[in-house]
Structure 1
């Protein structure tokens, strides 16, 4: 079931007279619908405030709070990561949809509706720490940790035969030199 079809659609057709607040809740279904395996699930609330800055421009203020589940980078077991972040985006009405603008999201003024589900997801994703791992290795999946410890153990390497040859040569030189008293 794709709940995103209209649930995350925001329409900028009617100009706002003042700030408008919207609330969203993202659960496991939302995260699985994104088709990305970086976030496995979650329970995150978003408070979104839309502020008109002109007749064709809006400031969107995002406040996320909750937790998401991600795979641990070390053992791949699920790991819960807290989310508490604020972001903002400027939306402008222009000639056509332009998602390449770094300054603002430009929407076509003739059809100023936009599905924000991807933006909602990406803002959560970029708020996460770069490394996702359990704080202590003991919290990781023991079978994976055991495997990693075995594969990290240095193998016994045979000694280079040149060392034995060098030791022998030094020993012979020591035996031929007279000892000083």
Structure 2
């Protein structure tokens, strides 16, 4: 918990104005949190806190590098992160998360810990597919090949093509149409 205590911001007694905080951390931050997504990394965050009588607005600018495991080759690689995110904390009678960006905190709260927000913003800035940079160009060419596929099914009316006489009807279908007509 010592590592995460660096992310405490005392809000009790702050005047209604803007405050700037710079935070930096590495592997200890990710190891302290109970998560399996990121094990290693290094980042710097600049937090701008705007306090007013009814709310606190926090703007996070995070830059750094995290080590991820490639989904395809299972080799570790470094992924750069650069995120700009915002969270609004409104004062109220209880703690409640209203939306992804707005939370209500008890007006008697004296300190907030922004470590959870930082990790969430870092995790959201990661790519959905964790592909090693050496394999990314290969994946892009694979995706292009898939778009030029063969049409297997079409919802167009087949009666139009039959009347044009371009295609002959399979004799097996003709036999089935005769059976259908006898009912």
The answer to whether the superposition gives a TM-score over 0.5 is yes
Q: Is the 8 A contact 2:16 2:53 kept in 1?
A: no
Q: Give deviations 1:57-84, integer Å, cap 9, x for gaps.
A: 1211110011111111112221100011
CA distance in 2, matches of 1:38, 1:124: 10
Unaligned runs of 5+ in 1: 139-181
CA distance in 2, matches of 1:16, 1:73: 48
CA distance in 2, matches of 1:113, 1:75: 43
Alignment-derived partner of residue 177 in structure 1: none
Alignment-derived partner of residue 176 in structure 2: none
- Note the 1:149-168 alignment, pairs <5 A: none
Residue 29 of structure 2 is aligned to residue 30 of structure 1: yes
Alignment-derived partner of residue 2 in structure 1: 2
Instruction: Report the CA distance shift for 1:85/1:40 in structure 2 as closer, same or farther (over 3 A).
Output: same
Residue 76 of structure 2 is aligned to residue 88 of structure 1: no
CA distance in 1, matches of 2:102, 2:55: 9
| RMSD (CA atoms) | 1.8
> What TM-score does the superposition give when structure 1 sets the normalisation length?
0.69
| Superposed structure 1 runs of 4+ greater than 6 Å apart | none
- Number of aligned pairs? 135
- 1:111 deviates by 2.2
CA distance in 2, matches of 1:47, 1:113: 18
Bigger-Rg structure (1/2): 1
Unaligned runs of 5+ in 2: 137-183
